[in-house]
Amino acid sequence: MVSSGARRARKRGGPQAALRLAVVLAALAPVSPGRAAPAPAGPPLTIQYLERRVERPVPLNNEDPIPADEGAKGAELGLKDSNATGRFLGLSFGLDAKVVEPDDDIRQAFRDLADRRFVVLNAPAADVLALADLPEAKGSVLLNIGAPDTRLRDADCRRNLLHVLPSRAMLADALVQFLAFKRWSRILLVTGPAPADALYAEALRRSARKFGARIVAESRYDPQGGDVRDTALREFALPTRGPEHDVVAVADEAGAFGASLNYNTASPRPLVGTQGLAPAAWGRPVEAWAAVQLQGRFRKLAGRAMRPVDWAGWMAVHAVGEAAVKARSADPATVRAALTAPGFEIGGFKGRPLSFRVWDGQLRQPVFLLWPGAVTATAPIEGFLHHRTELDTLGLDEPESACRAFSGTPG
């Protein structure tokens, strides 16, 4: 019999919310003589979390820095959720976390792991590739939660590598779909000096070509040697001056100057990109589809808001746990087969089932367009269609991808 609370949860948040509520209610209910107790747990399935610590610049405007535990706390919550669900099938999970300092050998740290069959990686692209190519990683499932580089889903893909974090191509496609829908098709692009900024800018150029927008002018801005907080009123007049445009797009992944562009552009235009209206896998304002439950659990655990890499860490561990639940097994080979099966789907509090693309290992997922305090839109945007699923309008579709490491038919 379905409780009224579960029926309301199903209506508001879909089957996933109803399932979560059912698990909670079952955990709180007393065990009666006529009611079966949870199955005894067997040996835990161990998931590893391996992170490269990255040195980041001090943020502008007294903004909160990126938390040192971003990603790790998400994985920790994923473990809690997986154990809460799995214990009714006699399944249990463990999580071992290791953080490698900037100058240490992450390959040796990987070799030193006691169990390398499921490893959540929070590291730059170069580290991710180096680990995926190790002989010791041949039997591993590596879940990338920290590297958005499109090349990892393209020519540099690897058969043992799944991507939970959206690629830069997915983020840019989500943004440009929104701009095309609004008919704001003329883009003035300002790019920072960092290599990641150049990659983000290239993703925007590709998306503009894909969806019929135009980069009408480009400029490069280097904040080195000055304090844009004091000079923004004058500093940004020149790099944001150009032909008639609808928006100013900024590529500043480190946040070195982008926030100060707002209201300081030469023409009164919306700011989009890494700052302003920004595409992201997750953010504090996300509450629909029962996401408020996940947000609350995370805040209780971490004492802060859930960020995109936190969501990816949660999803990576959650995906392994759900694969084990669906397979009703903690055997690593059985769980791997379930996780990588073409028909595997998983909920992620994003309003629809998510799945891994069979041609490049990327997790299909909606992308949020966030303004501080609000979700402005969720991509794919209405009207952008695909013969398989609208989610494949975001990022590299199968004909666009140079990935040849995977095999099989589209799922």
Ordered DSSP codes for 66-91 = PPTTTTHHHHHHHHHHHHHHHGGGT-
Domain ranges of the chain: 45-166+282-365, 170-280
Distance CA 213, CA 204 (A): 10
Q: How do beta strands 374-379 and 367-371 pair?
A: antiparallel
**Same fold across 45-166+282-365 and 170-280:** yes
d(CA 85, CA 70): 24
Q: Which residues of the chain have pLDDT under 70?
A: 1-41, 59-62, 226-227, 229-230, 407-411
pLDDT at position 320 is 98
* CATH topology (fold) of 170-280: Rossmann fold (3.40.50)
Q: For the segment 140-191, what is each residue's pLDDT rounded down to a tens digit?
A: 999 999 999 999 999 999 999 999 999 999 999 999 999 999 999 999 999 9
Fold of 45-166+282-365: Rossmann fold (3.40.50)
| pLDDT of 64 | 79
CB 211 within 8 A of CB 174: no
Question: H or E segment at 20?
Answer: helix 4-28
- Tell me what pLDDT residue 234 has: 83
- pLDDT digit string, tens, across residues 67-113: 999 999 999 999 999 999 999 999 999 999 999 999 999 999 999 99
Report pTM.
Answer: 0.89
Count other Cβ atoms within 10 Å, centred on residue 351: 17
Q: What is the pLDDT of residue 59?
A: 65
Question: What integer pLDDT is reported at residue 40 of this predicted model?
Answer: 64
